[in-house]
């Protein structure tokens, strides 16, 4: 649930304008001001809430696959059906997991990250 929008007054906006602006008209101070806002911190926390656990889970899954392949050859070479063995299914599981994570991230970003980023853009005065 998003918090009520914080209004940026013209005074607030003027206070974060510095004399050094790039080609797009933005200054480093604008970005520093945005990074210091609670909304940006909330967006960063939401991103980390998804990325860190998912990364740890996938690396553990990948490490398990590598370790099983290296040290449990009898188990990995067990035939499941026809010429398909456990190692083959685990390998395919790696691909399936990768695509699953990409789909989950896309849904999470649509639901949680993109609305917050859009709110920050609007508050910063950037309109599409």
pLDDT, residue 116, reads: 95
Share of residues in the chain with pLDDT > 90 (%): 65
- From residue 67, alpha-carbon distances to 54, 73, 96, 120 in Å are 20, 10, 19, 44
Task: Indicate yes or no: pTM above 0.85.
Answer: no
Q: How many CB atoms lie within 10 A of CB 97?
A: 15
pLDDT, residue 26, reads: 60
Beta bridge partners of 25: none
Q: How wide is the angle at C-alpha 21 spanned by C-alphas 15 and 22, nearest 5°?
A: 145
Beta bridge partners of 84: 81
Per domain, the residue ranges of the chain are: 30-123
- At 5-48, the pLDDT tens digits run 444 444 444 444 444 555 555 666 678 888 899 999 999 999 99
Give the whole-angstrom CA distance, residue 76 versus residue 85.
7
């Amino acid at each position: 649930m998003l918090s009520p929008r914080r209004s940026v007054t013209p005074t607030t906006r003027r206070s974060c304008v510095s004399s050094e602006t790039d080609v797009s008209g933005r200054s480093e101070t604008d970005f520093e001001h945005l990074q210091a806002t609670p909304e940006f911190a909330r967006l960063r926390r939401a991103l980390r809430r998804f990325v860190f656990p998912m990364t740890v889970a996938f690396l553990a899954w990948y490490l398990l696959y590598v370790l099983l392949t290296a040290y449990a050859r009898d188990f990995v070479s067990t035939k499941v059906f026809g010429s398909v063995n456990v190692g083959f299914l685990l390998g395919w599981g790696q691909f399936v997991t990768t695509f699953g994570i990409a789909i989950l991230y896309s849904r999470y970003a649509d639901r949680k990250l993109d609305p917050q980023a859009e709110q920050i853009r609007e508050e910063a005065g950037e309109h599409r």
